[in-house]
Structure 1
Amino acid sequence: MMHSRKKTQSYGVNERHQVVWLIVLAFLMFVSIVFPLFQLFRKAFIDSKTLEVGFSNFITYFQTPSLSHSIINTLNISLWTTVISVILAFIFAYAMARTGIAAKPLFRYIAMLPLFTPTMMHGIGLTYLFGNQGLFTTGFFGWLPFSFDIHLYGPVGIIISEVIYTFPQAFLILSISLAVTDYRMYEAAETMGVGKISQFFNITLPSVKFGIISTCFVCFTLSFTDFGAPKVVGGQYNVLATDIFKQVIGQQNMSMGAVVGMILIVPSICSFIVDRIISRKQQGTFTAKSTVYVIRKSRMRDFWLTLYCSLISGCIVLLFVAVGFASMVTIWPYNLTLSFDHYRFYNAAGAGLSPFFNSVTMSFYTAIIGTAVIFFIAYMTEKIRLFAPLRQLLYFLAMIPLALPGIVIGLAFIFFFNLPNNPLHFMYNTMTILVLANIVHFFSVNFLSATTALKQLDKEMEQAADSMNVSFYRTFFRVTVPMCMPAITGMMVYLFVNSMVTVSALVFLYGADLKPASVAIVNMEDAGDVAEAAAMSMLILLVNLGVKGGYEGLVALITKHRSKRSDKLRIKASSLNSIKKSVGVDAHV
C-alpha cells in the first residue's frame, strides 16, 4: 500500500516537472519567435505618422516605382535561378544515382563546397573571373588573343551566383528522390520493349515529380530571399533583400523595411506548405515491396555524364581557386606576386582578424547551446506522452522559423529587442542576440533532424522508466542522449557551419566590437578591399572544411572501432560455440 502511494507521488513529481518545462520552453519560443514577428507585423501595418492600422505602408511601397520594381527584379532572378539550377542539379544527381561513372565521392564533395562559404564569396569569385579586371574579361591579362565580357554586374551576375548557391541544395533533394524509385517499373518496361528515352519520360520523371516540385520551391525561395550575392554583384539592379538593407541601414525607414520583410515571407510560407504536402505524398511512392534501382553498364552514357560532372565540378573548383589565388596576390591585376599580406587585414574595413574570431566564437556558442536547446525541445514534444496541447503548441512554434528568411529574423529582432521598454533590451548589440538569431534561423531543420532520430528509439523505454519509478531527467541523460549522439553531433556541425557563413540574419544585429566575419566581408567589399574580403572568405571556408572533415573522420573512426569490436565479439562467440560443440554441450545453452 505504501509502495503504491510512493509510486503515485513520484509520477506526480515527474509530471509537474514536465509541464513546467513545457511552459518554460513555450515561453522562450514566444520570446524569440512570436513576439519579434508581432513587432514586424506591427511596423508593417501601423502608419508611423498617424499611428493608424491599415495598409498605408504597403500602398506607399507599391506606389513608389523604384521600390515596387524590385519585386519584378527579384521574381526575374528567382525564376531564372530555379530553372537553371534544377536542370543542372537534376542531371548531376541522375549521374550520381543512376550511372556507373567513376569518382562519385569526389564529385559529391565538390558539389557541396558552396555550402561552406558565404554567398558573397560566390560573387567575389565571379568578380575575379568576369569582372572589369577579371581573368576572362581581360583575356588572362592579355596573354590570350581573345576575351569576352558577360556584363557581370546586374542580373547576369546575380543569377550565376544564385545558381552556385542553390545548386547543392537542389542536388541533395533530387538525389534523395532518385534514390527511392521502384526498379520493378523499369523491369516491366524492359519486358514490354519500352526504350530508354521513353522510360525516362514515362517512369523516371513522374516518379521524382514531387522531388522536382520541392526543389523548385526551395531554389526559388533561397534565391528570392538571398542578400549576399546581390550585394556583391548586383550593381544598380535592386532586389528585395538589398532594399531592406537600404531602407533600414541607409534611410532608417523601418516601416518600409518591415513591408519588404512581409513580402519576403510570402514565398517562404508557400514553400513550407508545398513541402509539407509533398512530403506526405512522397512517403507512399516507395513501399516494402519496392526494389532498389540496379545500375546497368553503358559506356557511352557514363562517358558523357562523367564529362558533364567534370565540367560542373571544374567550374565550382575554378571559382574557389580564383578566390584563393586573388587573396594571395599583392595587387590585382598589376602585381601578381604571391604573399599573405591580405590575411593580416591591416588596412581593411573589417577591423583586422577580430571578425573572424567573433564568428568562430559565435558559431561555437550557437552549436553548443543551440543543439542542447533544440534537442531538449524535440525530446519534450516527441517522447513526453502527456499534455498534448502544450506539446502541439511547441511543435507548431518550432516549425515557424522554417518559413522565415534570415533577413526577416534579423529585422524582427531589431523591432523587438531594441524597444526601450523591453526588459530584454540589454541583449541588443551583444553576442547573446547573435547566437539567438542563429539558433532561431536554423531551428526548424535541426528540430526535424532531432525528432527523426528520437522516433527511431523504442517508445517503450520511457514507459519502462516510468514503471520503475525513474526520473525522466535520468532517462534523458543516461539513455536518450547517448543513443542519439550521432544526430546530436551532426546538429552541432550543421549549426556551426551555417553560423559561420550566414550574413542576412546578423547584418542588423551586431555591435561595433562584435562584427561577424560574413558582415566584415560585406563591409570590405563596399570599401573596395576585395582582396581582403576574399581572404576572409577563404578563412571561413577552411574552418568549415576542417570542422566537417574532423566530424566525418571522427564518425569513421568510431564506426571502424565498433566494427572491430563487433568482429572480436563474433569471433569469441564462434570460438565458444566450437568449444561447446567439441565437448558435447548444446551451443544454445
Structure 2
Amino acid sequence: MGISKGVGLTRITLVLFFLVAAVLPLCGLLANLLNPAAWEVFSSPQFLPACLNSAGIALIAMVLSLSIALLVSWVFCRTNIRGKGVFAVLMTLPMLIPSLGLGMGLVFLLGSNGIITNLLGLDVSIYGFWGIVVGAVLYSFPSAFLLVYDVLKNEDASPYEAADVLGIPKLRQFTGITLPYLRKPLISAAFATFTLVVTDYGVPLMVGGKVITLPVLMYQEVIGLLNFDTGASIGFILLMPAVVAFLVDVLNQERGRLGFVRKERVIRDNPRRDCAGYVAVGIVSMAILLPICVFVLVSFVTKYPTDLTFTLGNIARSMNLNAGSYWLNSLVIALTVSAIGTVLAYLAGYITARVGGKSARVLHLACITTLAIPGIVLGLSYVFAFKGSFLYGTLGILVLVNIVHFFASPYLLAYNALGKVNLNLEAVGATIGASRWRILKDVLVPQTAGTILEMFSFFFVNCMVTISAVAFLATTLDMPLALLITDFDSQRLTECAAFVSLLVLLTNIVFKALFAVIKKLLMRRVGLSLSA
C-alpha cells in the first residue's frame, strides 16, 4: 500500500509540476491576446513580410537540411569510407554552439569585411534572406542528421539482398525500399527542422540585415520596445507551426517501427563510390568547420579585420566585462537543470512506461507536449506568469524554464529505454517481496545507466547554448554566457563576442569528452555487476 501511495504521489507531483511550469504560463500568454493592443502588430507594415520571410526561410532550410542529412547518412551507412566516427562528431558540432555564434561565424567569413569576401574580392555579402538560409541550414542540419542516421544505420539488409536477386536497379531500391523505410524519421526531421528554424532569432539577428523574421520582430518588440502584449501575439503565431508539427509527429508515431531481428549489411568494395562519399562528407565538414574556425581565429586577433596580430588580450578584456561570472552562471544553471531534469524525466518515464493507467497516459501527453512549445514563446509566457514573484529575476526561474523547455527529449529517452526492459519484473518482484523502488534502484537504474547519462548530457549541452528560452528572463546578474554574445556584438566588441562563442564551444566539448569517459567506465562497471 505504501508503495502504491509513493507512486501515486510521484505521479500527482509530476502532473502538478507541468500544470504550474508549462500550462499556466501558456494560458497567461494567451490571455494577453484579449488586450486590444496585442492585435495592433497584425496591421503593422513589418508583420506580413516577417511572416513570409520566416515561412520561406524555414521551408527552404528544411528541404536543404533534410537533403544533406539524407546524403551524409547514406554515405556513413552505404560506403566504406574511413573515420566515420570522427565525421559523425563533426556533423554535430553546430549543436554545441549558440545560433548567435554560428551567425557571427558566417559574418566573419562572408560579411562585408569577411575573410572569404576580401580574399576573393566579392561584391556580395552574407546579409539578407539567403544568408539566413545558410545559417539556418547549419543550425538545423545536426538535428535532422541524427534523426535520419540513427534509423538508417539499423536498417535490415534482407530486402536489399532480395532486390539484388530480382535484378531491381539501385535507384529503384532507394525509392522503393529506403525512402518508405525512412518515412517516419523524415517526417519527424522535417517538422523538427522547420520548428527550429522558424522560432530561432540568433541567426537572423546576426546575418539578417534588413530582412526581419517573426522571432526577430518579437525580440525587438519585447527587448527593445518593452511591448509585451505585441510579443504575446507574435508568440501565439510562432506557437502554431510548433503545435502542428507536434500533432503530425504524434499521429505518425506508431508506424514504421523497427523489427527485433535484422541482418547486417555487407558493404562491397567500390572505390568510385567511396571517393564520392569522401567528397560529399568533406564538403559538409568544411562548411561546418569554417564558421567555427574563423571565430576561433578572431578570438585571438587584436582588432578584426584591420589588425590581425595575435593577442591574448581579448580573454582578459572579456573577463573584465564579467564573462567569467556569466560562464559560472551557465555552469550552475546547466548542472542544476541536468540533475533535477534527469531525475524528473526518469521518474516520469518510469511511471508512464511501467506503471500505466489513465493518469499515466495524461502524464505522458503532458511530458511530450513540451515539444510543441518554442523556447522564445515559453520564455515570454514565464514573464507574464512569474513577474513580481519571488522567482522572477533569479537563477531559479532560468532553471525552471530550461527544465520545461528541454524536458521532452530526455523523457522519451527514459520512456523508450524503460519500456524495453522486461515488463514482468515488478510482478516477479512482488512474489518474492521486492518492492517497486527496490527493483528500480537495483535493476532498472543499472540497466539504463547509459540512457541516464545521455539524458544528463542532453540537458547540459542545450542549457549552455540556449538563448531563446532565457532571453526575456535573464538579468545582468544571472545572465547565461550565451546571451553575452549579443551584448558584446552591439558594443562593437567583436573579438570578445567571438571568444564567448569559443568558450561555450570548449565547455561543451570538454563536458562531452569527460562524459564519454565516465559513461565508458560506468557501463563497464554496470556490466560487471550485472554479470556477477
Residue 514, structure 1, aligned to residue 478, structure 2: yes
- Partner of 1:298 in structure 2? 270
Residue 281, structure 1, aligned to residue 251, structure 2: no
> Conserved in 2, the CA contact under 8 Å of 1:410 and 1:506?
yes
Q: CA deviation at 1:364?
A: 0.9
- Partner of 1:47 in structure 2? 35
- Partner of 2:238 in structure 1? 264
- Partner of 2:519 in structure 1? 555
Using the TM superposition, name which of 459-468 and 519-528 deviates more. 459-468
Residue 15, structure 1, aligned to residue 38, structure 2: no
Partner SS, residue 149 of structure 2:
helix
Q: In structure 1, how many angstroms separate the alpha carbons of the residues matched to 2:358 and 2:447?
A: 28
Q: How many residues align?
A: 532
2:414 alignment partner, one of 419, 444, 450: 450
Deviations 1:534-563 (A, max 9, x none): 101111111101111111122233455677
Residue 497, structure 1, aligned to residue 461, structure 2: yes
Residue 484, structure 1, aligned to residue 458, structure 2: no
Q: CA deviation at 1:467?
A: 3.9
- Partner of 2:138 in structure 1? 164
> Conserved in 2, the CA contact under 8 Å of 1:162 and 1:229?
yes
> Conserved in 2, the CA contact under 8 Å of 1:61 and 1:68?
no
Q: CA deviation at 1:303?
A: 0.5
Q: In structure 2, how many angstroms separate the alpha carbons of the residues matched to 1:233 and 1:176?
A: 32
AA of the residue aligned to 1:37: L
Q: CA deviation at 1:279?
A: 3.0
Partner SS, residue 245 of structure 1:
helix
Q: In structure 1, how many angstroms separate the alpha carbons of the residues matched to 2:419 and 2:50?
A: 44
AA of the residue aligned to 1:332: Y
Residue 123, structure 1, aligned to residue 103, structure 2: yes
Matches within 5 A, 1:228-239: 228-239=202-213
Deviations 1:37-73 (A, max 9, x none): 11011012x1256xxxxxxx44x33322212221001
Residue 189, structure 1, aligned to residue 144, structure 2: no
> Conserved in 2, the CA contact under 8 Å of 1:117 and 1:540?
yes
Partner SS, residue 302 of structure 2:
strand
Deviations 1:378-407 (A, max 9, x none): 22333335xx23222222211111111110
Matches within 5 A, 1:88-487: 88-139=68-119, 146-283=120-257, 286-288=258-260, 290-346=262-318, 351-385=322-356, 388-418=357-387, 420=388, 425-487=389-451
Q: CA deviation at 1:208?
A: 2.2
Q: CA deviation at 1:101?
A: 1.2
- Partner of 1:38 in structure 2? 27
Seen in structure 2, the aligned counterparts of structure 1 residues 329 and 454 have a Cα distance that, compared at 3 Å, is: same
AA of the residue aligned to 1:312: V
> Conserved in 2, the CA contact under 8 Å of 1:344 and 1:352?
no
Deviations 1:229-255 (A, max 9, x none): 111111221111111111112222222
Partner SS, residue 77 of structure 2:
helix
Partner SS, residue 469 of structure 2:
coil
Deviations 1:147-194 (A, max 9, x none): 224421111221111111111111111213322434233223322323
Q: CA deviation at 1:227?
A: 1.6
Structure 1 unaligned segments of length 5 or more: list them.
1-10, 50-56, 140-145, 570-589
Q: Aligned-pair RMSD on alpha carbons?
A: 2.2
Deviations 1:343-400 (A, max 9, x none): 223598x633211111111111111111112212222333335xx2322222221111
Q: In structure 2, how many angstroms separate the alpha carbons of the residues matched to 1:288 and 1:482?
A: 23
- Partner of 2:58 in structure 1? 78
- Percent of aligned pairs with the same amino acid: 30
Using the TM superposition, name which of 503-512 and 251-260 deviates more. 251-260
Q: CA deviation at 1:289?
A: 6.0
- Partner of 1:579 in structure 2? none
AA of the residue aligned to 1:19: G
Q: In structure 2, how many angstroms separate the alpha carbons of the residues matched to 1:439 and 1:102?
A: 38
Q: In structure 1, how many angstroms separate the alpha carbons of the residues matched to 2:289 and 2:282?
A: 10
Q: In structure 2, how many angstroms separate the alpha carbons of the residues matched to 1:131 and 1:415?
A: 38
Deviations 1:216-236 (A, max 9, x none): 222111111112111111122
Partner SS, residue 514 of structure 1:
coil
Q: CA deviation at 1:35?
A: 0.6
Partner SS, residue 238 of structure 1:
coil
Partner SS, residue 172 of structure 1:
helix
AA of the residue aligned to 1:42: A
Q: CA deviation at 1:468?
A: 4.5
Q: In structure 1, how many angstroms separate the alpha carbons of the residues matched to 2:163 and 2:19?
A: 54
Partner SS, residue 179 of structure 2:
helix
AA of the residue aligned to 2:344: V
Partner SS, residue 83 of structure 1:
helix
> Conserved in 1, the CA contact under 8 Å of 2:117 and 2:125?
no
Seen in structure 2, the aligned counterparts of structure 1 residues 19 and 557 have a Cα distance that, compared at 3 Å, is: closer
> Conserved in 1, the CA contact under 8 Å of 2:370 and 2:407?
yes
- Partner of 1:142 in structure 2? none
Partner SS, residue 281 of structure 1:
coil
Partner SS, residue 514 of structure 2:
helix
Structure 2 unaligned segments of length 5 or more: list them.
none
Seen in structure 2, the aligned counterparts of structure 1 residues 383 and 562 have a Cα distance that, compared at 3 Å, is: closer
- Partner of 2:17 in structure 1? 28
Q: CA deviation at 1:484?
A: 2.4
AA of the residue aligned to 2:497: A
TM-score (norm 1): 0.86
Q: CA deviation at 1:259?
A: 1.1
Residue 68, structure 1, aligned to residue 48, structure 2: yes
Q: In structure 1, how many angstroms separate the alpha carbons of the residues matched to 2:449 and 2:170?
A: 44
Q: In structure 1, how many angstroms separate the alpha carbons of the residues matched to 2:430 and 2:261?
A: 38
